[in-house]
Amino acid sequence: MGKTARDVAVLTDVLLDPGLRAKFPNGLSDFLVDGWQGIRVGFVDASLWQLPPKLLVSDDEYKKQMVFIFSSRHVHRSCRASPPPGRGSSLKLDDEAAMPITMRHEFRVLLDAYFTECVGESQVSSLEELMKWNKDHASLELPQAGQDLLVGSQEDTAPIEKVERARAAVGQIAKNGIDRALAQSGIEAIIAPTESPISSSASSAGYPIATVPLGR
């Protein structure tokens, strides 16, 4: 995430594996150009690419603005792209939705790893302790919603083999969706609202994604 494309290039330089960084001695900023000349981009249909209400309570005016910007003839674009969300929500693995299998497992693992790095900085050190903290301070931490997602992750018992199969299946369907959109539309990049499933699609496919302001 950055304020400009140059910010994103510099940040990516920092995040790159040293072996990959060595291939770009002058940094990724060398590849930046002034303007969109020669770059073919596609804008998704912002009226369709929106997060479900249970994940985000979005402002109606914001939605209208995004739909207007992404459909406006004043926005410079080479073509339009409307790839499927590709979040794997309908993909089944052993009669179970594949995406939640990976999410439940990875959430607990990554959160516990994060807490391990915060020794002495946090009053909780694991997902289990976080759930207890929320319960003990329910009026403050759980005023409008429960913690079913946290409980589901903590109680997850899926074997790692099943998690890996689910991750591979979700990744493949996301990759196929993005590749198809790029190929069919003849574009090099897809632009979508931040508050949309695009981040899930890109991360599942293993493709890079960046966030910058869209304006004049």
Report the pLDDT value the prediction gives residue 215, as an integer from 0 to 100.
Answer: 55
User: Which stretches in the chain have pLDDT values below 70?
Assistant: 58, 70-90, 119, 214-216
pLDDT tens digits, one per residue of 116-171: 877 677 788 888 999 999 999 888 888 777 888 899 999 999 999 999 999 998 89
**Which DSSP category does 123 fall into?**
S
Report the pLDDT value the prediction gives residue 214, as an integer from 0 to 100. Answer: 66
Structural element, H or E, at residue 79 = strand 79-80
Claim: this prediction has a pTM higher than 0.75: no
Cα 2 from chain centroid?
15
User: SS3 for 5?
Assistant: helix
Give the burial class of 165: count Cβ atoms within 10 A of its Cβ; 0-12 exposed, 13-18 middle, 19 or more buried. Answer: middle
The residues near 169 (Cβ < 8 Å, ≥ 6 apart) are 88, 91, 93, 98
Contact 50, 58 (CB under 8 A): yes
Domain boundary assignment for the chain: 1-32, 92-165
At 83 the pLDDT is 47
Q: Helix, strand or coil for residue 191? A: strand
